[in-house]
C-alpha cells in the first residue's frame, strides 16, 4: 500500500521543479520561472536549472533564487556523445534535455518534481495533484514514432487515449525509478543507453520522455490519474513582445504559451493527429 504524499498546511503536496536549459533559452527562461511561481498552486521546494557550465545561467539562478545544477553531474553522457542529427537538423541537445528530465529522481528532496520546457510559459493556475491522483495535462495529437520507440523500450503499446506532450509534467520519483529499472532489465543496459539504442536516428522526432512516463503510469492504473486538456498555444514571436493585456486575453482560451519556432522548427507537422 502506497503512503499518501506529504502535504503542506495549504493542503497541497510539495514539489520540486527541474528545468533543463542552455544559453539560448535565456530569452524565455526568466518568464518560465516567474510563471511557475505564480501559476503552480503547490508549495515549491527546490527550483533547479540543469545546464552546461554557463556563467549567464548561473547569474540568472542567483537573481531568481534557483539552484544551478551542472548537467555533467546528472548524466555521464554529453550532447557530443549523442550524435542525433542529419544534414537538415540537429537534435542531440533536444534529446539530452529529455534524458536530463528522466534523471530527476536523483535530484532534490521532494517525492515529486515538475519538469518544464524552458520555452513554455504558464498563463493560468495549475494543480498537479487532485483528489488523491496525479494530474497530467494532455493534447490530442502526437508523433507516431514516439509510441513505436516507447513500445520497443517497455514492450507494450500505447495505453492512454491522449498524448502527454504538454511541455511540462509532474513525475513521481518512485514510479520513474521503477520505469527505468524495467527498461534496464528488459534491455540489459543502463536506461539512457536503452533509449539511445531504440531511437530511429533518421526520424527528426524520435522520442518523448513525456509519452514514455505518462503511458507507463496510465497503463498501471488508468483510473488512478486525472487527464486535463493542456490547451497550449505555440507563438512565433518573442515572449518579450507580448503585452499583459494580450496574455490576459490568451488565458481565456489557453493554459500555456510555447515559443518553439524561435528554435527553427515546428512541433506539429501537417497530417499528424491522435
The string of DSSP codes covering 143-181 is -HHHHHHHHHHHSS----SSB--SSEEEEEHHHHHHHHH
Q: Is residue 53 part of a domain?
A: yes
Range of the domain at 179: 15-263
The rounded distance, in Å, linking the Cα atoms of 62 and 140 is 38
Provide the number of structural domains found in the chain: 1
Look at the block and give the residue holding cell 552546461: 52
pLDDT at 248: 95
Least confidently predicted of 17-21, 120-124, 139-143, 169-173? 139-143
Q: Is residue 87 part of a domain?
A: yes
Q: With 60 as the cut, is the pLDDT of residue 269 above it?
A: no
CA atoms within 13 A on the CB side of 113: 27
Phi, psi of 186 (to 5 degrees): -70, -35
The domain that contains 93 carries what CATH number? 3.90.550.10
pLDDT tens digits for range 20-75? 999 999 999 999 999 999 999 999 999 999 999 999 999 999 999 999 999 999 99
Asked if residue 137 lies in contact with residue 198, where contact means CB atoms within 8 angstroms, the answer is no
Residue 171 lies in a domain: yes
pLDDT above 90 coverage of the chain, percent: 89
pLDDT(177) > 50: yes
pLDDT category of residue 1 using cuts at 50, 70 and 90: very low
Global pTM value: 0.90
Is 274 part of any domain? no
**Domain annotation covers residue 270:** no
Residue 4 lies in a domain: no
Residue 216 in domain: yes
233's enclosing H/E stretch is strand 232-234
What are the CB-based long-range contacts (under 8 Å, 24+) for 178-187? 179/154, 179/212, 179/213, 179/216, 180/102, 180/105, 182/154, 183/153, 183/154, 186/153, 186/154, 186/155, 187/153
Pick the closest to residue 118 from 92, 90, 94 (CA basis): 94
For residue 6, tell me if it sits in a domain.
Answer: no
Amino acid at each position: 500500500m502506497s503512503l499518501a504524499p506529504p502535504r503542506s498546511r495549504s493542503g497541497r503536496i510539495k514539489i520540486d521543479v527541474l528545468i533543463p536549459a542552455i544559453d539560448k533559452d535565456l530569452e524565455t527562461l526568466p518568464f518560465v520561472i516567474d510563471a511557475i511561481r505564480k501559476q503552480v498552486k503547490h508549495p515549491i521546494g527546490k527550483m533547479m536549472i540543469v545546464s552546461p557550465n554557463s556563467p549567464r545561467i548561473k547569474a540568472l539562478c542567483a537573481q531568481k533564487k534557483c539552484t544551478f545544477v551542472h548537467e555533467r553531474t546528472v548524466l555521464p553522457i554529453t550532447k557530443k556523445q549523442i550524435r542525433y542529427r542529419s544534414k537538415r537538423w540537429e537534435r542531440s541537445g533536444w534529446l539530452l534535455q529529455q534524458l536530463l528530465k528522466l534523471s530527476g529522481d536523483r535530484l532534490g528532496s521532494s517525492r515529486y518534481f515538475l519538469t518544464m520546457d524552458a520555452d513554455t510559459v504558464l498563463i493560468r493556475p495549475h494543480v498537479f495533484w487532485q483528489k488523491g491522483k496525479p494530474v497530467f495535462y494532455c493534447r490530442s495529437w502526437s508523433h507516431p514514432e514516439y509510441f513505436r520507440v516507447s513500445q520497443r523500450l517497455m514492450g507494450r503499446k500505447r495505453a492512454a487515449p491522449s498524448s502527454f506532450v504538454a511541455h511540462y509534467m509532474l513525475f513521481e520519483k518512485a514510479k520513474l525509478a521503477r520505469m527505468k529499472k524495467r527498461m534496464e532489465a528488459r534491455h540489459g543496459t543502463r536506461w539512457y543507453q536503452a533509449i539511445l539504442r531504440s531511437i530511429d536516428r533518421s526520424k527528426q522526432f524520435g522520442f518523448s520522455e513525456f509519452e514514455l512516463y505518462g503511458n507507463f503510469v496510465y497503463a498501471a492504473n488508468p483510473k488512478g490519474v486525472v487527464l486535463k486538456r493542456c490547451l497550449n498555444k505555440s507563438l512565433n514571436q518573442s515572449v518579450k513582445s507580448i503585452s499583459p493585456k494580450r496574455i490576459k486575453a490568451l488565458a481565456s482560451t489557453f493554459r500555456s504559451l510555447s515559443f518553439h519556432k524561435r528554435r527553427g522548427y515546428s512541433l506539429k507537422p501537417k497530417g499528424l493527429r491522435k
